[in-house]
Amino acid sequence: MAFAGDAVNPITAQDTSTIDTWWGDGSKAKITHWHDDADGYIRTRILPGVPKGHTIKYGVHKSTGHYYLTVSGPTINKSWT
């Protein structure tokens, strides 16, 4: 998570492989404390780099308790679960 004064370099729309690497094998998305880290990372690193016209949905699935991220629009259509 970024702190005041930290430089934030957003992930750009063309850099979904960085999100893939960060997401890893998905096992950490099943750990309860990871949800807070994921929320901050998505808001500070991913959202600023997504081009206009895209929709981003993220959060915790109520039924499974696992975190998800979905980006959809003209240049990106991908989900991480």
pLDDT in tens, 24-59: 755 565 556 666 677 888 888 888 888 888 899 998
pTM listed for this prediction = 0.70
Around Cβ 46, how many Cβ atoms within 10 Å? 23
Q: pLDDT grade, residue 3 (50/70/90)?
A: very low
**Nearest Cα to Cα of residue 48 among 76, 11, 77:** 11
**Nearest Cα to Cα of residue 54 among 67, 40, 32, 70:** 70
Residue 70: the pLDDT is 93
Residue 57: the pLDDT is 93
Q: Which amino acid is at 45?
A: R
**Nearest Cα to Cα of residue 44 among 2, 78, 16:** 2
